Chains A and B, each alone.
Chain A
């Protein structure tokens, strides 16, 4: 299993859609074969269409607000007294997280295909919020599927979704979190694929959805590469890119331009959700050695039991609370190009407190997992090491959880 150079990772799959011969694919019911094939052909056409690229870039700049800023966290760096900590504040993007890139592209594709309805899943509520924004912007009718448990813990995003005129469909089956929301969304698509476009909120699901999402979030690393060159004149010699990983869309977007570099030059570190310290449950299939399984139309490392029933997961962060992970990250893990670890709920909360104490930055609980790893390794590293954390979400949505756990706003 080997990564090829000069080819985007999203395109390094075989004819059945598998990365490294075993991750990904399209395990879908017959009914979805045709809509998935149509979408695959449409995307193949559009990504080569200069007019479409221009449109995408126009909306990325004028609607999403690219580029998001890249800045050094001076106080945190001095406090940790080791590697320099930098951040790319992707949460500055319209709506407050990286999910807007994928949502915008899906809305544009939906329009191009002449469909009037768009549906999507959401965990933390960001994918749903952004899709509802994009739907409103482009005049599409939108339904968001969300687990009932997530609706309670991420209320601010639910309010935003409804304000944008989208309908939230609460999902009461199973663990009532993201995994069930994705299942329900796919089931809805099975029944309505003739007039409805489906957006999968991360780099998961059948092959084509991994590709579209990765293609969209890759904007983050294109910006970062330019910003690095401007700041440092070249790509720094000791660079570490740390990103949280749930489905893995923000991590892939943050890394895609840097995958061809040697790992000693640019190290890629993914941080999964380790769950509560004292709980056996987690959402960390990569770093806690889950087996390969098939979930939501793709093969990946999946938290599951011996029989193949999908495990319930547990994490303070709804956006990372997912038993599977992108096939692309499985591929990066098995080729050893990226390293994956996890942070517990408590570590993420500590990191959140430390970052907000020293900096004018309020990362949501998802990137707080990435900050936890940065804080852990920075003191042991040389001062010329550059750590960049993707602060891919804003903590506004976590208001209730933070108040409950930390006793403050």
Chain B
């Protein structure tokens, strides 16, 4: 069963001959209210919005997202707030897909089934659990599928060929390719050509899957990866929020401008 919203977003982008733009922001950064405002405002340009539920011991996030996460936790964000941000967002933007992203302990403590049913209720379209890899994620991912939530598998440059095949077989509509060996927000240390080559290998396995590329994508690098089905920008946005707070500027406007610029680069 396909998640229509996620699929439609990729279809629309393809018709416009461009990659889909995916943004990542942290729920509750820098307050619950502001993070909802930011989300709404960037969804004018973003095709799919990823929303992080912050964890205080992240093992795959770089400095920018860590800063955003700590800020959100400090400001009191709880899992139920994350769901209510999504619900509120969906009230005005019901056709914009939302993907929640985070670490497994949060799901585990909330209870897997309860977490999925809350996702369904809030109209979450997809889930990325960073530290729940294949095949450990098999049961959880099939539970998601049953509830029409995309469980998004990650693939990295270290993923072996045989593993790649298995992961793709077990994946839903969307796959996330990690551009390089790095935590989020690292400097792109691999050439765009090399990244696209790896991306193509994944595409060649199954053309019907939408493959997005993330990690290290900024205003400077986004254009060079235009060939992909979708591109994810996260740390650059978190950095902009941090910068705006420091300069006492309006983070909502600044982030909106940044995402608009990103979108223009891939049009």
Binding site for B on A (CB under 8 A): 16, 25-35, 173-174, 179-180, 183, 186-187, 190-194, 291, 293-297, 302, 304, 306-310
Contacts and interface: CB of A to CB of B under 8 A. Distances in A.
Contact of B59 (A25, A34, A186, A193): A186
A287 B207 CA distance: 53
Contacts of B56: 174, 309-310
Given A34-B160, A191-B182, A294 B105 contact: yes
B252 interface: no
A174 B131 CA distance: 20
Contact of B60 (A29, A174, A307): A29
16 contacts: A29-B59, A32-B158, A34-B163, A174-B70, A187-B61, A192-B181, A193-B158, A294-B103, A294-B104, A294-B105, A294-B131, A295-B105, A307-B110, A308-B108, A309-B73, A310-B105
Given A34-B159, A306-B109, A308-B108, A297 B131 contact: yes
B106 A31 contact: no
Contacts of B70: 173-174
A33 B181 contact: no
Interface string B56-100: 111111100010001001000011000000000000000000000
Nearest to A27: B131
B59 A294 contact: no
Given A34-B163, A190-B59, A304-B109, 8 more contacts: A27-B131, A28-B131, A31-B158, A33-B159, A187-B60, A291-B109, A296-B57, A310-B57
A31 B181 contact: yes
B154 interface: yes
Contacts of A26: 133, 136
Given A26-B136, A30-B133, A33-B133, A174 B109 contact: no
Contact of B181 (A25, A28, A191, A294): A191
A294 B110 CA distance: 13
Nearest to A187: B183
Given A30-B178, A191-B182, A16 B136 contact: yes
Contacts of A296: 57, 59
Which of B58, B136, B158, B163 has most A Cβ within 10 Å?
B158
A330 B59 CA distance: 22
Given A187-B62, A308-B105, A310-B56, A33 B186 contact: no
B136 A27 contact: yes
Contact of A183 (B58, B78, B158, B181): B58
Contacts of A180: 57
A369 to B, nearest CB: 24
| Chain B interface mostly | loop
B124 interface: no
Contacts of B5: none
A307 B53 CA distance: 11
A308 B110 contact: yes
B131 A173 contact: no
| 7 interchain residue pairs of minimum CB distance | A308-B109, A34-B158, A31-B156, A294-B105, A308-B105, A30-B154, A29-B60
B109 A29 contact: no
Contacts of B228: none
Contacts of A33: 133, 156, 158-159, 163
Given A25-B136, A187-B59, A296-B59, A307 B106 contact: yes
A179 B153 CA distance: 27
Contacts of A28: 59, 131, 133
Interface in B37-53: none
Nearest to A193: B181
Given A16-B136, A294-B131, A31 B108 contact: no
Contacts of A191: 181-183, 186
Contacts of A30: 133-134, 153-156, 158-159, 178
Contact of A190 (B106, B155, B182): B182
A24 B57 CA distance: 17
A30 B178 CA distance: 9
Contacts of B66: 173
Contacts of A179: 57
Contacts of B163: 33-34
A297 B131 CA distance: 7
Given A35-B158, A191-B181, A174 B133 contact: no
Interface string B106-135: 101110000000000000000000111110
Contacts of B157: 31
Given A174-B57, A190-B182, A297-B131, A307 B109 contact: yes
B143 interface: no
Contacts of B186: 191
A19 B168 CA distance: 29
A309 B59 contact: no
B55 interface: yes
A15 B39 CA distance: 41
Nearest to B107: A308
Max chain B CB contacts within 10 Å: which of A31, A180, A191?
Answer: A31
